[in-house]
């Protein structure tokens, strides 16, 4: 199964990507995580991306498309893309890359959610940078504050989750990523889910939308 998850920052794409990928044995492709990993390693790519990310802007298409292309051959059998594509240029590039490989997308899932929920979700988000597992101090806190339940590693807050940067990221979503929603709607691949509610409730809706049963197994 080849899927793309679309939706504004904080909609829960990353949370559902990790659950579904684990459950179905799919590769996870999260461009935000890939860029942050480059940043942490101090690579040239990471240095180039840093300023854009801190401002809440998109990293140039050419950088992220190259990053996706590099890994695509090894994962074309099944994947969930979280955070890519985010511009129509990226969507067209992805279509071309998948067409070359005769591995088209099965579905694009749009996570629908009101703006008011997003800022509070993001300001309460804590992440294990080693595994990408996220917590929310309001709705799903770790058992011990500041430490990951899975490996005991320290949890951190993302620099771009500051309120003013979140507002900017939402503006960027409206301007540059909303057109991607229309692009996939026209292609007939778009399915929409209500992303409000518990993580389990959203996982159930997602499973129904993509035709998978028994999501909680």
- Residue 35 vs 102, nearer CB to ligand AP5: 35
Let me know: does 180 contact 6? Beta carbons within 8 Å. yes
Please indicate whether residue 185 is annotated as part of the active site: no
Residue 148 in tokens: 């990951």
Please indicate whether residue 217 is annotated as part of the active site: no
Please indicate whether residue 158 is annotated as part of the active site: yes
- Residue 73 vs 200, nearer CB to ligand AP5: 200
Nearest approach, Cβ of 178 to ligand AP5 (angstroms)? 13
Choose, from 2, 36, 133, 169, the residue flagged as catalytic. 169
Site residues, ligand AP5 (CB under 6 A): 7, 9-15, 31-32, 35, 52-53, 56-59, 64, 83-84, 86, 90, 121-122, 124-125, 134-136, 139-140, 160, 169, 197-199, 202
- Residue 52 vs 103, nearer CB to ligand AP5: 52
Please indicate whether residue 189 is annotated as part of the active site: no
Q: How far apart are CA 65 and CA 63, in angstroms?
A: 6
Choose, from 23, 112, 158, 189, the residue flagged as catalytic. 158
Q: What is the DSSP string of the chain?
A: -EEEEE--TTSSHHHHHHHHHHHHT-EEEEHHHHHHHHHHHT-HHHHHHHHHHHHTPPPPHHHHHHHHHHHHHHHTTSEEEES---SHHHHHHHHHHHHHTT---SEEEEEE--HHHHHHHHHTEEE-TTT--EEETTTB--SSTTB-TTT-PBPB--GGGSHHHHHHHHHHIIIIIHHHHHHHHHHT-EEEEE--S-HHHHHHHHHHHTT---TT-
- Residue 102 vs 197, nearer CB to ligand AP5: 197
- Residue 80 vs 185, nearer CB to ligand AP5: 80
Choose, from 18, 121, 125, 205, the residue flagged as catalytic. 125
Nearest approach, Cβ of 73 to ligand AP5 (angstroms)? 19
Nearest approach, Cβ of 145 to ligand AP5 (angstroms)? 14
Nearest approach, Cβ of 106 to ligand AP5 (angstroms)? 20
**Catalytic amino acids?**
13, 86, 125, 158, 169
């Amino acid at each position: 199964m080849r899927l793309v998850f679309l939706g504004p920052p904080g909609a829960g794409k990353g949370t559902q990507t990790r659950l579904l990928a684990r459950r179905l044995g799919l590769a996870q492709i999260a461009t935000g995580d890939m860029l942050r990993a480059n940043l942490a390693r101090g690579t040239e790519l990471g240095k180039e991306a840093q300023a854009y990310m801190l401002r809440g802007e998109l990293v140039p298409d050419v950088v992220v498309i190259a990053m996706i292309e590099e890994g695509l051959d090894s994962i074309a059998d099944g994947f969930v893309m979280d955070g890519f594509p985010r511009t129509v240029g990226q969507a067209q590039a992805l279509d071309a890359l998948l067409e070359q490989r005769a591995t088209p997308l099965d579905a694009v899932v749009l996570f629908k959610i009101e703006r008011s929920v997003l800022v509070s979700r993001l300001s309460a988000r804590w992440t294990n940078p080693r595994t990408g597992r996220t917590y929310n101090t309001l709705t799903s806190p770790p058992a011990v504050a500041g430490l990951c339940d899975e490996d005991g590693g320290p949890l951190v807050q993302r620099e771009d989750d500051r309120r003013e940067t979140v507002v900017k990221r939402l503006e960027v979503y409206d301007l540059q990523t909303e057109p991607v929603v229309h692009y996939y709607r026209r292609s007939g691949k778009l399915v929409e889910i209500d992303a409000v509610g518990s993580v389990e409730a959203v996982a159930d809706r997602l499973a129904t939308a993509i035709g998978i049963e028994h999501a909680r197994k």
